Structure 1
Amino acid sequence: MPSWLPAIAYPPARDDGYWAPITSTIDWCEENYYATPYSAEIVNTLTNLLFVYLAFRGMHNCYTQGHDRIFFLTFIGYLIVGSGSFAFHTTLKYPMQLVDELSMIYTTCLMFWATFEHNRAAPLPLILGLFTASLAIFITLYYHYLQDPTFHQNAYAILTAAVVFRSMYVMEVNIRPYYRRKHDTHVKKQGSPVMSEREKEEEARKDKRDQDIVGKMWIIIGVGLSVFLGGFGIWNLDNAYCSTLRRWRHDVGLPWGILLEGHGWWHLMTGLGAYFYIVWGIWLRHCLNGRQDDYELVWPSFASIPSVVRRKGAPATNGANGSARKMK
């Protein structure tokens, strides 16, 4: 290690930790049991505490601000993802690996159903629910049969991409004034009454409001995706250059070598990116329900955590799926 950098040498890795032997199908780049015999991968374990913190923050926000119940359930799933990953990296046991990886699939399936069923006429929500549940069961059984992490990663990526791109489309078509007005003009009946000056002013106010909302939504999307994909990139570098990174960690010693734990960065960055997406989904749902004047995004700076809160004086809700207009 560099002589000018105060550090301690890495203890040797061990294979006789408390949870030995390893039964998971994946063993990450962090060396096993070097810090404590009670945690196989200490950095990969502790970085999951961010999930726990953000999950409870999100659930509290949903409970106090009257967000739809599906998002409270999503944050419960988010908590299970973090807790499962904590248990997996602590033990490196196959059952804990399944809790970690499959909870990612199930939580994304919740968002998948919430995104595609909103404001759909019966029986479509039920059909979508059955389809989503069947898809989750299929992924579970087939993954357990294959025991190939690549299948899980691809399934998760496809589900996530479907949810994100569908949400982007819904946001643009239903909220951006240009596309919303274009659709409304297309379906407008002949002989509709001419708007008064006051109605025109109110329409202009709503257009400006919605234009600002879409702009802020794209910012939160951009930040969330950048952080999420950045974590994915670091994780891949961790996999590709593991031997080099391990050598560098030993060269710089502890605690500095912790900064070279790529999978730990994946936890921090994807956890934060996923939280940004859920917050965006909450705000988008309120806007689709016609409640732009009742809710706002509170995000003081890029260094802070965003949240959606009810404006002062706005009517409370019980988390049910109220709606002001049909989603396109």
Structure 2
Amino acid sequence: MSVDRHSKASATYTVASESSRPNIPAASRPGASTVDASKTYRRHVSLEVPGDLILHSDGFLRRWPILGPPDILSQDYVITRYIAEFINTFSSLIFVLYGVYGLVKLYQKQHATLSRTIPYFGLMGVGACSAGYHMTLKYHTQMSDEISMHLLVTPLLYRIFTIQTSPQHTRLIGILLLTEFTVVMVVHMVMNEFLLHAVTFGLGVLLIATRTVKLVSQRVPDPFTRKKLRNIGLFGVGSFLFGYMVWLIDEFACNPLIHIRHSVGLPLAFVFELHGWWHVFTAIGGYIAVEVVDMITSGEVHKDPTDQLAWPIADVARFIGGAPGAKKLN
């Protein structure tokens, strides 16, 4: 999952080679791996990009240090030549794991319809596209990474706004959401326009949160189960916000984090790859959103849902939810 913005290359050429590589630290890129910089330089011709990026002739985007010379490359492909950002790639797959877990649990139920599976596939799509981007750092995989966020939000919007509605209303909502998704995808990928993508995604998340809170109050009769679902939902929101805070730290404290990773060395340095933790916490938040929406729109809200949730959500729900009929002691 990416929120980096890349501009297109200009026509200025630079050359980096093993014989001419500078002996200084590599680029300070959030989420970049940290080993000996001398291992990351290979002979190639690159296109200079405005700002702090280079788009290389092999199709990869890499950064320079902000205060460094323009021919210094970042530390990508240092664990293996096939994966640009090792931790960021594999942490993205947590989305896929949660999606698979949700599908397995869903197919064990009696009423596992196709419409209920789509949000789980959307969650898996986010992880697959994010992993593809962090593995290759190519422009088209970055576009797919960002568009995949709508693959998760759009089905959730459809489910919460078509619950117990007429066929005409359901059809209208489907047409509107499909049109919105198509317009955002085309504009974002063809024009490289980020604002429309960001605004529509943020608005979608806000609509899901507010509508879900209302539906929980309306459709969950048991007070204990209603409280449990609210607590689970709050944990999901908190997880997403904490992940965003971690991402901000990774952006603005990049150089200190790089020094820490160099100091502690592998494998402990992986702990300080904060962009990977952003993936972890947003995956938890996304999975919770899918589960809560599925429960309230399918009518499966008459008993405690804790046991069917994946780790660590189930343990957190037990910890903060108490037991049925528990009373506060004076």
What is the aligned residue count? 262
For 1:301 and 1:127, the matched residues in 2 are separated by 33
Shift of the 136–232 alpha-carbon distance from structure 1 to 2, 3 Å rule, reads: same
Normalised to the residue count of structure 2, the TM-score between the two structures is: 0.71
Q: Confirm or deny that 1:46 pairs with 2:121.
A: no
Matched AA of 2:259: R
Aligned counterpart for 2:239 among listed residues 200, 224, 227: 227
Matched AA of 1:49: L
Shift of the 217–244 alpha-carbon distance from structure 1 to 2, 3 Å rule, reads: same
How do 1:124-135 residues align onto structure 2 when only pairs under 5 Å count?
Answer: 124-135=169-180
With 237-246 and 211-220 compared, the bigger mean Cα shift is at 237-246
The higher relative CO (CA closer than 8 Å, separation ≥ 6) is in 1
How far 1:298 moved relative to its partner? 2.9
Shift of the 256–62 alpha-carbon distance from structure 1 to 2, 3 Å rule, reads: same
Per-residue Cα deviation, 1:121-146 (whole angstroms, up to 9, x for no partner): 13111111110001001111221244
Shift of the 300–125 alpha-carbon distance from structure 1 to 2, 3 Å rule, reads: closer
For 2:61 and 2:194, the matched residues in 1 are separated by 8
Partner of 1:199: none
Partner of 2:76: 32
2:305 alignment partner, SS class:
strand
Shift of the 128–302 alpha-carbon distance from structure 1 to 2, 3 Å rule, reads: closer
Shift of the 46–28 alpha-carbon distance from structure 1 to 2, 3 Å rule, reads: farther
For 2:89 and 2:231, the matched residues in 1 are separated by 31
Shift of the 278–22 alpha-carbon distance from structure 1 to 2, 3 Å rule, reads: farther
2:198 alignment partner, SS class:
helix
How do 1:47-196 residues align onto structure 2 when only pairs under 5 Å count?
Answer: 47-65=91-109, 66-149=111-194, 151-175=196-220
Given that residues 71 and 278 in structure 1 are in contact (C-alpha distance below 8 angstroms), is that contact kept between their aligned partners in structure 2? Answer: no
How much is the aligned-residue C-alpha RMSD, in angstroms?
A: 3.0
Q: Confirm or deny that 1:282 pairs with 2:294.
A: yes
Segments of 5+ residues of structure 1 without an aligned counterpart are: 1-8, 176-206, 308-328
Normalised to the residue count of structure 1, the TM-score between the two structures is: 0.71
How far 1:292 moved relative to its partner? 4.0
How far 1:228 moved relative to its partner? 1.2
Given that residues 20 and 91 in structure 1 are in contact (C-alpha distance below 8 angstroms), is that contact kept between their aligned partners in structure 2? Answer: no
For 2:64 and 2:243, the matched residues in 1 are separated by 15
Structure with the higher helix share, 1 or 2: 1
How far 1:28 moved relative to its partner? 11
Segments of 5+ residues of structure 2 without an aligned counterpart are: 1-33, 45-54, 66-73, 316-330
2:98 alignment partner, SS class:
helix
1:214 alignment partner, SS class:
helix
Shift of the 109–300 alpha-carbon distance from structure 1 to 2, 3 Å rule, reads: closer
1:254 alignment partner, SS class:
coil
| Aligned-pair identity (%) | 22
Matched AA of 1:124: H
Per-residue Cα deviation, 1:194-228 (whole angstroms, up to 9, x for no partner): xxxxxxxxxxxxx5xx1111100111011111111
For 2:227 and 2:177, the matched residues in 1 are separated by 31
